[in-house]
Amino acid sequence: MLISGSPAGRRCYAAAIAASVISSTVFSVPGPAPAATRPPSVPAPQLDWRPCAQESAFDCATAKVPLDYRRPGGRTIELAVVKRKATRPGSRIGTLFFSPGGPGGPGTVQMPQVYEHFPQQVRERFDIVSWDPRGIGYSTAVNCFDSPEAAAAWTAARPAGFPVGEQQRRTWIAAYRDLARPCHQRDPELLRHVSTADTALDLDQLRRAVGDPQLTFLGASYGSFLGSTYANLFPGKIRAMVLDSNLDPQAWTNHDSPGEPRLPIFLRVGSDLSAAVTLDKFLTLCGSTTTARCAFSAGSPKATRDKFERLMRRLREHPQGKWTYGGTVGDAVYALYSVHPGWTDLAARLQDLWQGRVPRPTPPQPVVPYLGEEQAAAVLCSDSPNPRDPGAYHAIERASALRAGDAGRFWSWAAEPCATWPALAANRYTGPWNNPTAHTILLVGTTYDPSTPYRDSQALAKELANARLLTHHGYGHTELINPSSCVGDHESRYLIDGTLPPAGATCQQDTPPFAATRPLGGVATGGGARAGTAS
């Protein structure tokens, strides 16, 4: 799951959804909404494309859509949209819509960042379009602060990563509770209309706006849940759909069960277990190589794991500057999302902390739209059920830590702010998930993913009526930013002419962690679908 923000103020595209949830105990919450249905048709928005101010190679537009599709004559909101035209316009097939995930991922920022990761043949044959979903970024956005300075002060006042000890737990819970009042007061109606189903309806409006009779779509992480929702609301409109690093929709919706769930969303999905296994692989591979390739290596896998455990115990008692135990665990989970350079950079930071040095600060990021934690919270907390008692999360943390260690603590607290978020979605889609689609959907699941476990891709393959799972034997969150030329070739053939990989097909990552690299195919050398490296 992909969002913006992190405990150490870093991680770009691959930041985790965990830091983007908010809560409050102040307001009453309406009862569960009925499952989403397709609303009466409304006119398609007009897209007035113009070169983007900051990215001249891309075009930007604004789409107006109803806040509430059941009341199309009421309030409208704006969606910020971005496009990169097909590089071979004479061979153009249509538009590929891209969701970078989240919730909270601003497509107008992240699509240009990852554009070169799309297979070359896809860039040649499709206009690639993304957008900031409702509530996010440059679109009509949730914003609970009066100024950027107030937002920064709120962030600095709460524990990084997750709370450690009774005092930090009280501070954590109070911080999110205090934030919820202005969130609710500023725009309560917007908070009730930022569900995944609402965004799926927006996506169909954008499809109509570009003139495509059917949807071609690539959704990463949470974008897979958006894709699953769209596919079941508009099954006849699927031309081609690739879902990368998938969420089990039954876990997201808690099987549409009545009453309060026992576990928060990330433990239902299995993010804690998946992150723990991926962290263990990081330490194993680090310990199996030299310090020249992995600075934190202690000479063997066991010694490196022991070294990490000793460092975490030390930070728990004696933080290193602003580097606390909770913040460092959160930083490690985020860093595991992107193997290159994330794993190498993480090893260097851990080694700095081991030697008593404060890691060098991350260089300032380019100016982007406001992406406060409340934006992702508005989607997650209104759309996916979570335990409503903030006091329950300490016990949840302890239970998860028994099965998933440090990563279990991190993912247990990630959804705690949803315990008292002041709004539930007015329009949710909770199933069924097996409506037969016009064409088969291609799923890509990575075996060592710190956020969306491979088992969720297997579950989604069974849930959807028509799906084919391609297994990516690799590391990191989403194949898109941890590339495999093999996966890219399969995706290109599927998106261009509908050719699916054989049943049971598998691919390898181009460059394993901590490996010596050399160019491999792709744009850089004139061969294959992607530029990459290999050991």
Do strands 76-84 and 126-131 pair parallel, antiparallel, or not at all (unpaired)?
Answer: antiparallel
Crossing angle between the packed helical segments 148-157 and 166-186, to the nearest 10 degrees: 150
- Rg (the chain; Cα; Å): 22
Question: Tens digits of per-residue pLDDT, 79-120?
Answer: 999 999 999 999 999 999 999 999 999 999 999 999 999 999
What does the pLDDT read at residue 31? 39
Are residues 353 and 328 in contact, defined by beta-carbon separation less than 8 angstroms?
A: yes
The confidence score (pLDDT) of residue 517 equals: 54
Residue found under tokens 């996916």: 384
Query: How large is the average pLDDT for residues 468-485?
Result: 98
Q: State the pLDDT confidence band at 54, using cuts at 50, 70 and 90.
A: confident
pLDDT value at position 34? 42
Residue 502: exposed, middle, or buried by beta-carbon count in 10 A (0-12, 13-18, 19+)? exposed
pLDDT tens-digit readout, 73-89: 999 999 999 999 999 99
Share of the chain above pLDDT 70, in %: 89
Amino acid at 299: G
Alpha carbon distances (Å) from 37 to 70, 200, 274, 414, 428: 9, 11, 33, 30, 9
Three-state DSSP class for residue 1: coil
Helices 325-335, 393-414: axis angle to 10 degrees equals: 40
The token pair that represents 467 in the structure block? 């799906």
Backbone torsions φ then ψ of 63, nearest 5 degrees: -110, 135
Express each pLDDT in 263-276 by its tens digit: 999 999 999 999 99
Flag whether pLDDT at 518 surpasses 60.
no
Q: Does residue 18 or residue 208 have the better pLDDT?
A: 208
Q: Determine the Cα–Cα distance for residues 24 and 177; give it in Å rounded to an integer.
A: 4
Residue 501 has φ and ψ, to the nearest 5°, of -65, 155
Q: How do residues 210-244 score in pLDDT, each as one tens digit?
A: 999 999 999 999 999 999 999 999 999 999 999 99
Question: pLDDT averaged over the chain?
Answer: 90
pLDDT tens digits, 379-437: 999 999 999 999 999 999 999 999 999 999 999 999 999 998 999 999 999 999 999 99
What confidence score (pLDDT) does residue 347 get?
98
Give the list of residues 6+ apart from residue 476 with CB closer than 8 angstroms, or none: 14, 336, 337, 338, 339, 342, 446, 448, 449, 450, 482
Token pair 């949840």: residue = 396
Q: How many CA atoms lie within 13 Å of 480's alpha carbon, on the beta-carbon side?
A: 28
pLDDT of residue 368: 85
Structure tokens at 320: 């290193």
Name the least confident of 17-21, 357-361, 449-453, 475-479. Answer: 17-21
Per the CB < 8 A criterion, the answer to whether 158 and 95 are in contact is no
Core vs surface per residue 409-421: b (16+ CB within 10 A) or e: bbbbbbbbbbbbb
pLDDT at 27 over 80: no
How confident is the model over 161-184, as pLDDT tens digits? Answer: 999 999 999 999 999 999 888 999
Q: Are 76 and 67 in contact (CB under 8 A)?
A: yes
Q: How confident is the model at residue 519 (pLDDT cuts 50, 70, 90)?
A: very low
Residue 494 contacts residue 486 (beta carbons within 8 Å): no
In the structure encoding, which two tokens stand for residue 195, read together? 């569900």
Interatomic CA distance for residues 328 and 286, integer angstroms: 18
The pLDDT, as a whole number, for residue 13 is 36
β 94-99/126-131 pair status: parallel
Scanning the structure block, which residue is given the tokens 């409006």?
A: 205
